[in-house]
Structure 1
Amino acid sequence: MLVDRRAALGFALLGGAAVSAAPAAGRTATRTGRGIEGQLAPDLGNGRFLNPVLSGDRPDPAILKDGADYYLTFSSFDAYPGLTIWHSRDLVNWQPRRPALTRNIGSVWAVSLEKHAGRYFLYIPVKASPNDIFVIWADHIDGPWSDPVPLGLNRHIDPCHAVAEDGSRWLFLSGGDRVRLSDDGLRLAGPVEHVYDPWRYPDDWDVEGFSPEGPKIHRHGGWFYMLTAVGGTAGPPTGHMVIAARSRSLHGPWEQHPGNPLVRTRSLDEAWWSRGHASLVEAPDGTWWSLYHGYRKDFWTLGRQCLLDPVEWTADGWFRMTGGDLSRPLAKPRGGQAVPHGMALSDAFGGPLALGAKWTFFRPAPDEAARVRVAEGQLHLAARGLAPSSGSPLLLNAGDTSYRFECTIAIDPGCTAGLVLFYDDKLYCGLGFDTARFVTHQYGIERGRPANPHGARMRLRITNRRHIVAIHTSGDDGRTWQRFDRGMEVSGYHHNVRGGFLSLKPGLYAAGTGSARFSDFRYAALAD
């Protein structure tokens, strides 16, 4: 049955189909590589674009072409509401719509977004107890989406829905396996079977591990093409890569691409590391492109970002990627009316909180949304837990290498609140305060600091300039600032240190008892 979980779980989502991309007061959205609030924007305004097409933590892109519209979503892991659907008409400019998943079913990994017989499907692998792959469906891309249905697949990740030449429906899985689906796509209709042995790289390459994952199936020109990631998602920057195989039938046999690997970071000097997990998609002008993810050089903290690479079909029926290392501007696909790109991360809290599209909870409890209320230009956040580690902070996905964010915070007695740079519940930093003292957060550890001269209300600012963090406080709404006597360096707050495949995100929290009131939240990208 279809469930509008926005009402069922109390998540206050936006009233429209998409998030407003209007810039904050005093700023102008541009198309010169820097957009709203100075954030990175791909469209250079001259018929060219510069990767990433979506900055910040956008891993494992799942792309769907639906007529003139393109829909895209990403692994959302422990962020809820999750699986926000992004929309584009030209593959370069993207705007968020609604999240498809609001009930916490576990850590969401690489999904498959499909449309079959007029209905939209999301196949969702989760790390939980137990692991499983779920399916949800909707008759409109903005939902309402059905409640998640477990399929009983606890040994595989990275499903990809595919329809065979005989009309049967299948999920291709990690490790070169697949399983048949029922005709309605909501149940398994057979056992898991092994159908493909992925191409193997030379033993002397520096990789994280073999890890064949992320299969993506495409039908074109009488062939089925399967793109697969091998080499491991993170670890050495030269590990993750894209390989391909093809078959005349979805039932095989599969022949390896003679040019494998099609994409691989070969040098630490390249602009993008650990490139992989690719899909193929046709642009409005009939050209072909590949979407995949990669880490920006030296910035594992930002997570895997979404990259767009031009594809050329060759006379032998194969294809190759032609964008090189993606460090230079590329010609945009022609045609397609561009939507406004991205969204403002600043928030005046003047309407329903943009949960899912902008703000997300980290690993929320079932009643997490009940903590939130927006009224009279303030976000009221009920306190939970003793610190950010146990209180499910509200977080943003930032994609800039340097930025600052600030907010005015007022607290009840017994409440501790503040601003954080948050990787997960064991690794974060920032500054909080109660009515008597400051509390520093560093390496995921809380430490009491000197007396708080501002009392129960102050403005906090965190600046993250290429991993160097400075904190300022103000007792007069930002007219004057005092630098807090604790600086930090956060280049190690990432997956290769902590695991989890996450990113370092700005956010806010309230712990203890009572509640905190946040107002005039501002985000600004900074020039490096």
Structure 2
Amino acid sequence: MAGRRDFLKLGAVPVAVSAIGTRALGAADDRVAASQEAACGQPLLEWPRGIENQRKADLGDGRFLNPILAGDYPDPSVLKDGDDYYMTHSSFDNAPGLLIWHSRDLVNWRPLKPALEKPLGTGFAVDIAKHDGRYFIYIPFMRAPWSKGLADFANTFVIHAPSMEGPWSEPIDMRIGGLIDPGHVVGEDGHRYLFFNGGKRVRLSADGLSTSGSIEDAYTAWKYPDDWITEAYAPEGPKLFRRGEWFYLVNAVGGTAGPATGHMIVAARSRSINGPWENCPHNPIQRTRTAAERWWSRGHATCVEGPDGRWFMVYHGFENGYQSLGRQTLLEPIEWTADGWFRAVGGDLSKPLRKPGGRAVPHGLPHSSSFAKADMGRLWSLYATAPDEADRASRLERGAVVLRGKGKSPADGTVLTQQVGDRAFEVTVELELIGESEGGLLLFFNDRLFLGMGIDGKRMVSYRGGKVSHWPEPAPPSRRMHMRIVNDHQIVTFYYSPDGKAWTRHGVRSQVTGYNANTIDDLLSLRPGLFAAGDGEVRFRDFRYRAL
């Protein structure tokens, strides 16, 4: 079949799921691949494999296959700094947040460290800038359930550092309310500006840490025909750069989720930072045109010059059939035209593209964890935990993490999560209850949508659809348990074992395609999570991840 032939073309080896326990999971076969091809309307291409068999973009032959970062890495902001590239993404309610990534070829990325130790709210759609040898990240925070003193909609803060590896300052309130998606630029007048959603702009002080004027209208984003199928007009995500005599302003319109054909990339230009701005005559620069394409809702682009002098857009999109993985980071070449505009030349991104040159850094990071200090923020993040609770919510022991219980379930408990980007994977962990607690292993989207298993010393509690399931799984009463979750192309199976040797398959399987942003109206992803509820604590050891 076409999908299996494409595996061979790209030099990848399909990996079968091994049988586990007393009720074995059947190995993935051609029927699974065929169903995925039917869903996407095109043959499957497979990726080369990196750490722990995770997929990666670099094909090893001078080409790459999107995504460059698999998993929920949305709203990418990219800074070119000499031969180095730095990138960060929306981290929302995760603490620590704003993980910084480093690359020298725009395809292979290594994680450095988080820039934001304790978020002040839901942080998203940031912008990275360098000015006079110092680094800045501009962050809009929306009010989180635990926050106090922030505007209901959003306030913009800034952090700064002498290096992209830090140390980063504490967040500074810029007193800019009601706007999102800042984009930093230095005008021909030498002044610094932030542009925002809806065509707004404000001038900054020379040090970039406060405003030096009032918010003003600066431009009007291109409007698509009214009969196009989109989520909403929603002009957002302005990213600005200067090339030659022109300033270019790259915007997203159409809404970031909703219909597959909604989100799109548009551009405008001006010879002055003060306008007037003219819209590109061949807008949109990029857009998903049909639901049969591999990547949906493509938008929120940063334009950057590659190591070989060619230019590229870095943006996000949903993977057809795998919206549960969130908005993944994509790379597309652009070409400059004789009239000074640029065009996207990567097509629907379903095929390999020529790499931008440069030198590859080691890509990615292991997802298996011994719960060392370096794992926190790079791999693991606390979900929706107030800054004053973060230090008490978890503690590290030798080879373990202990989560302090709260609430009654994963919906209001302490939850520790990590991002993953594989279409099929398994995760395993050992847990032990301390005091009057409940703990377990999840696939977690948010506090309203998750599935998994928990134990309280008396019984096993099953969760599906963000609530306790009716299913009475006859697991033996225990205060210690090994748990495993297998997500095999959106089919999720639970396993448990008292000793980590003899495994029992949980009696219910789940189909999780619907665990996505359009179902729950929250721009996150379905990812592995550990939780602790109740008045006690839960100790977790030996977390293992394997892509299938």
In structure 2, the partner of 1:22 is: none
| Partner AA of 1:251 in structure 2 | N
Contact 1:435 1:452 in 2 (8 A): no
In structure 2, the partner of 1:406 is: 428
In the alignment, the residues of structure 2 paired with residue 392 and residue 436 of structure 1 have an alpha-carbon distance, to the nearest angstrom, of 20
Q: How far did residue 32 of structure 1 move?
A: 6.4
Mark the runs of 5 or more structure 2 residues left unpaired by the alignment. 1-45, 144-149
In the alignment, the residues of structure 2 paired with residue 368 and residue 224 of structure 1 have an alpha-carbon distance, to the nearest angstrom, of 42
Contact 1:413 1:435 in 2 (8 A): no
In structure 1, the partner of 2:95 is: 80
State which of 364, 379, 384 in structure 1 corresponds to 2:385. 364
State which of 105, 109, 114 in structure 2 corresponds to 1:90. 105
Are positions 1:510 and 2:532 aligned together? yes
Q: Say how many residue pairs are matched.
A: 493
In the alignment, the residues of structure 2 paired with residue 415 and residue 469 of structure 1 have an alpha-carbon distance, to the nearest angstrom, of 25
Contact 1:33 1:50 in 2 (8 A): no
Which residues of 2 match residues 210-229 of structure 1 at below 5 A? 210-229=233-252
SS at match of 1:367: helix
In the alignment, the residues of structure 1 paired with residue 158 and residue 132 of structure 2 have an alpha-carbon distance, to the nearest angstrom, of 16
1:80-129 Cα offsets, whole Å, 9 max, x none, are 11111000011000011111112231111200100000111111011114
SS at match of 2:177: coil
In the alignment, the residues of structure 2 paired with residue 362 and residue 458 of structure 1 have an alpha-carbon distance, to the nearest angstrom, of 23
In structure 2, the partner of 1:204 is: 227
SS at match of 2:222: coil
In structure 2, the partner of 1:266 is: 289
State which of 123, 126, 129 in structure 1 corresponds to 2:141. 126
Are positions 1:474 and 2:489 aligned together? no
Are positions 1:320 and 2:343 aligned together? yes
Q: Which moved more, 1:137-146 or 1:92-101?
A: 137-146
In structure 1, the partner of 2:207 is: 184
State which of 61, 66, 72 in structure 1 corresponds to 2:76. 61
Q: How far did residue 426 of structure 1 move?
A: 1.0
Looking at secondary structure, tell me which structure has more helix per residue.
2
1:181-225 Cα offsets, whole Å, 9 max, x none, are 111111111111112111111111100010000011010021100
In the alignment, the residues of structure 1 paired with residue 259 and residue 479 of structure 2 have an alpha-carbon distance, to the nearest angstrom, of 46
Q: How far did residue 447 of structure 1 move?
A: 4.6
Q: How far did residue 369 of structure 1 move?
A: 2.9
| Partner AA of 1:44 in structure 2 | L
Which residues of 2 match residues 13-412 of structure 1 at below 5 A? 33-128=48-143, 129-130=150-151, 131-334=154-357, 336-349=358-371, 351-365=372-386, 366-412=388-434
Contact 2:174 2:209 in 1 (8 A): yes
1:22-46 Cα offsets, whole Å, 9 max, x none, are xxxxxxxxx9621111111000111
In the alignment, the residues of structure 2 paired with residue 392 and residue 490 of structure 1 have an alpha-carbon distance, to the nearest angstrom, of 23
| Partner AA of 1:357 in structure 2 | R
In the alignment, the residues of structure 2 paired with residue 525 and residue 356 of structure 1 have an alpha-carbon distance, to the nearest angstrom, of 21
| Partner AA of 2:502 in structure 1 | T
Are positions 1:524 and 2:546 aligned together? yes
Contact 2:460 2:477 in 1 (8 A): no
Q: How far did residue 486 of structure 1 move?
A: 2.1
Q: Which moved more, 1:486-495 or 1:80-89?
A: 486-495
In the alignment, the residues of structure 1 paired with residue 447 and residue 129 of structure 2 have an alpha-carbon distance, to the nearest angstrom, of 33
Q: What TM-score results when the alignment is normalised by the length of structure 2?
A: 0.88
Q: How far did residue 446 of structure 1 move?
A: 2.2
1:236-263 Cα offsets, whole Å, 9 max, x none, are 0001000001111111111111110010
Q: How far did residue 394 of structure 1 move?
A: 0.5
Contact 1:76 1:108 in 2 (8 A): yes
In the alignment, the residues of structure 2 paired with residue 440 and residue 32 of structure 1 have an alpha-carbon distance, to the nearest angstrom, of 34
Q: How far did residue 385 of structure 1 move?
A: 2.2
In the alignment, the residues of structure 1 paired with residue 543 and residue 218 of structure 2 have an alpha-carbon distance, to the nearest angstrom, of 52
Q: How far did residue 79 of structure 1 move?
A: 1.2
In the alignment, the residues of structure 1 paired with residue 434 and residue 162 of structure 2 have an alpha-carbon distance, to the nearest angstrom, of 45
| Partner AA of 2:461 in structure 1 | V
1:389-423 Cα offsets, whole Å, 9 max, x none, are 11230001011111110111111241111001111
Identical positions, percent: 50
Q: How far did residue 348 of structure 1 move?
A: 2.4
Q: How far did residue 450 of structure 1 move?
A: 4.3
In the alignment, the residues of structure 2 paired with residue 392 and residue 377 of structure 1 have an alpha-carbon distance, to the nearest angstrom, of 19
SS at match of 2:325: strand
State which of 437, 441, 448 in structure 1 corresponds to 2:463. 441
SS at match of 1:153: strand
In the alignment, the residues of structure 1 paired with residue 175 and residue 226 of structure 2 have an alpha-carbon distance, to the nearest angstrom, of 35
Mark the runs of 5 or more structure 1 residues left unpaired by the alignment. 1-30
| Partner AA of 1:34 in structure 2 | R
Contact 1:104 1:363 in 2 (8 A): no
CA RMSD of superposed structures (Å): 1.4
* Structure 1 segments (4+ residues) deviating >4 Å: none
In the alignment, the residues of structure 2 paired with residue 447 and residue 267 of structure 1 have an alpha-carbon distance, to the nearest angstrom, of 37
In structure 1, the partner of 2:36 is: none
